[in-house]
Structure 1
Amino acid sequence: MNLTARQTLDAERHFKEWDRGPFSHLKKLSIPDSALHREFRFDASGHLMFDLLSARVYCDSMTGVSGSDLDQDPIVADLVVSGWIEFVNGKERNLIKPGQICIRNTRASWEFACAPATVAQVITIPRHLVMPLVASRRVFDRAFVADASDPEVKFFLNFLSVIEESAGELRNSVSAQNMARDACASLMSSIVSQRPGGGLADNSSATVAAAKKVIIDNLASCDLSPQMVARAVGVSLRTLHRAFSLTGDSVMSFTRRMRLQEAHEELGRADRSVSISEISARWHFADASHFIRHFKAAYGETPAAYLRRQKK
C-alpha cells in the first residue's frame, strides 16, 4: 500500500481493505496526526500457508488495535528489525525494539503504535493450534517478550526460514503443509511456556531441517562443524546428534555428502586442467586421497575418471 500525502487524510477508507485477509486482526487503523500530509507506505512480502503467515513488513507510522475479542484472531509474533512497535493492554505496556520479539494472543485487544519506517517479521499462527500445547493458558495473560538471540526463538526463526525456502514443494502437499503448521505451533507454544529447551528435543524433524539449512548455507566455510551448527539452530550438541541419529544419518555424513555433491558439480563444469587437490581442499576434505575415496564410493568412479568422461 502506498498513499500520497493527500490520501493519508482519508487513510481509514484504504485500511478497510484489510478487513479480510492475513492482517484482519488489525482494527481501527489510522495514521497519527504528526504523520499526516506525508506519503505513507506499507509493504509485506512472505508466505501464507492456509492461515499460517510469515512476512517481512515495512510500515510507516501507524496506530491501531491488534485483536478484537474474536475466536478466529490468531497468536501473533512480531520480530522488530528496525524502528519500534509499542503494544498496550490495560496497564501492560511493551516497547519492542530491534532484535526483540513479542508474542501475544490477539483474543485480547492490544493497542499498538509503530515508528516511521519500522521493519518487522510478522508471524501469525491459528490460536486453536497453539493453545492446546501451552503449559498453561495463563501464559498468555501477558505478552511474551524475548531477544531474538534466545535459543528457542532462534530455533523457531530458523525453522520458519526452512519452511519459506520449501514453499514451492509444500504447495504440492496438503499433508506437508499441515505438518509445517503443527511444527510451528508446537515450537511457539514451547517458547511462551518458557520451558528451557522445551519442544526443541521433541521436534527432531524440525531440528534436522533447520540444521541442514545451516550446513548447506555454510558448505564452503572451514568453520562448519557440529558445534557451529548446534549454536546456529539454538540446540545443544547432544540434541543435534540425537535428532540426526533418529533419521539414520549424522551431521558429518550429511555435510560430506553435500560437499561431494558440490565437488561433483564443479568437476562437471571444469576443464581438464583442473586440480583434484584444489577441489579437495576447496570443499574441506582432509586430503586428496580422502576425497577420491569418498567420491568413488558415492559416484562409482574416481574424480579423474569422471572428469575424462565428461570432457570426451
Structure 2
Amino acid sequence: MTDQEWEIAPDSLPEAGSGTQFKSTMYLSALQIKSSNHPFREWENGPLSHLTGLAIPHPAADHGFRFSATGHLFDGLLSAKVYCDSLTGVSGNDRDQDPVVAHLVTSGRITYARKNEHSSATSGQILIRDTGPSWNFCCEPATRVRAVTIPRSAVLPRIGSTTSLNRAYIADVTAPEVRFLANFLAAVDRSSRYLNRSAAAQEIAQDTCATLLSGILRSRSEQGAEIPGMARVRAAKNVIETHIDRHDLSPAVVARLVGIPLRTLHRSFSESNESIMDFIRGERLRRAHAELMERGSAVTVSEIAARWQFSDASHFIRHFKSAYGTTPAAYVKSRRDGS
C-alpha cells in the first residue's frame, strides 16, 4: 500500500448504464499526519464532501491512520462497508444538497453532537441523521460500519414532515425494519453485476433505499420517542455481548462504551428488574455452556471457568448448577449418555 491512496473506480460516476463500484483507501503514517496540512483534500468533491474540519486526534495520530471503504456509488446513493481509525470533524455544511446518512455499526462507536443533542451508536446499532444541519462527530479507533448516504431530495418527499429529521434516529439492528434495510443492502452487494449494467436497476435500488430509510424515520415519528431507559438497556446489552470476553468488563466499562453516566446505566437496569452484573454473568454462563456442549470432555471445568472470567472453578460450578440443575461434569456426562 502506498503512503496515501484515494481511489474511485473510473466507471463509478453516476451516469446511465455506468458501473457502480466504489473504492476508497487511505493510510497515513504518524510522520505524514504531523507534516500534512490537509490530508483529506481528496474528499472535498467526492461522496464524502459533507465531512469537513477533519482531524486525527492525539494520541491516536502517533499510531498512524487507516481508512477504507468498498461498495457502490450511483445517483448520489453510496452504500459501502467502511473501516475508520480515530477521527473527528463536522458532518454537514448547512446546505440543501447535503445527504441523509445512515451508519450500521458492527464494531467501535460513532458519536454525533449538535446544540443540546448527543447521539452515540455502538456495535449492533444504527444511527440515521440529516446532514442538512451540521453535526460534530467523533469516531473511535477501528470502527467498522455499513455506511449509506442518499440525497435529501430522495428522502424528504417520502417522509411528509421534516420533524422526523430534527434529531438523530438510533435503534438496534435487530429491529424488524432495520434488519429489512440491512438485508436489502446485502442484496445490493449480491446484485452488483446487474447494477453495473442497468440504469433502471440503479434507479430501483435508490428508490427502495429511500423508501426504507424514510419509512424507518416516519415510524419513529408516528410511534413517538422510545422509552430512554429501555433504549439504554438494549445498547448496554449489545455492548456486553460484543465485549463479553474482556477480563475487565464491569458496569463502569459498559457505561463508558455506551456513552452514558454509570449512575444512569444502573438506574436503567434497575427499571428492568435486572442488574448489570447479573446480565454479564448470565451471558458468560451461556457462552460457557455452549462451549461445554461443543467440546465436552475435551475441556476442563477450570479452563472453561478461566476463559469466561469466573474467579475460579468452584464459583463457576455453583452458578452453572443454579442455572442448569447439576454440575458441569454431570451435565456433560448426561448429554453424552443421552439421558
TM-score, structure 1 as length reference: 0.61
2:157 maps to 1:116? no
Superposition pairs of residues 1-312 of structure 1, within 5 angstroms? 1-194=26-219
- The count of residues paired between Structure 1 and Structure 2 equals 198
Amino acid at match of 2:190: E
Shift of 1:12: 4.8
SS in 1 for 2:132: coil
Structure 1 unpaired stretches of 5+: 199-312
Q: CA 1:72–1:96 in 2, change beyond 3 Å: closer, same or farther? A: same
Per-residue Cα deviation, 1:58-77 (whole angstroms, up to 9, x for no partner): 11110001110112110000
Counterpart of 1:154, as a letter, is R
Deviation at 1:16, TM superposition (A): 1.1
SS in 2 for 1:36: helix
| 1:152 and 1:197 in contact (8 A); partners too | no
- Report the CA distance shift for 1:51/1:12 in structure 2 as closer, same or farther (over 3 A): farther
Aligned residues: CA RMSD: 1.8
Pair 1:184–1:12, CA change in 2 (3 A):
farther
Q: 1:197, CA displacement in angstroms?
A: 11
3-state SS, counterpart of residue 13 of structure 1:
coil
Contact kept, 8 Å, 1:170 with 1:177, in 2: the verdict is yes
Aligned to 2:271: none
- In the TM superposition, what is the alpha-carbon distance from 1:37 to its structure 2 partner? 2.4
Deviation of the 1:196 alpha carbon: 10
Please tell me whether the aligned partners of residues 73 and 79 of structure 2 are also in contact (alpha carbons under 8 angstroms). yes
1:3 shift after superposition: 0.3
Q: 1:4 to 1:55 in 2, by over 3 A?
A: same
User: SS state of the match for residue 102, structure 1?
Assistant: strand
Q: Distance in 2 between matches of 1:158 and 1:10?
A: 43
Report if aligned partners of 1:11, 1:31 keep a CA contact under 8 Å in 2: no
Identity percentage over the alignment? 47
Secondary structure of 1:171's counterpart equals helix
Q: Would you say the 8 A contact 1:44–1:58 is kept in 2?
A: yes
Residues 164 and 220 in structure 2, CA contact (< 8 A), matched pair in contact too: no
* Alpha-carbon distance between aligned partners in 1 of 2:122 and 2:213, rounded to the nearest angstrom: 20
What is the CA–CA distance in structure 1 between the aligned matches of 2:117 and 2:37, rounded to whole Å? 27
Query: Given that residues 12 and 29 in structure 1 are in contact (C-alpha distance below 8 angstroms), is that contact kept between their aligned partners in structure 2?
Result: no
Q: Which runs of 4+ in 1 moved over 4 A?
A: 195-198
Q: CA deviation at 1:56?
A: 0.9
Shift of 1:11: 4.9
Gaps of 5+ in 2: 1-25, 224-339
Shift of 1:33: 2.1
Q: Residue 259 of structure 1 aligns with which residue? A: none
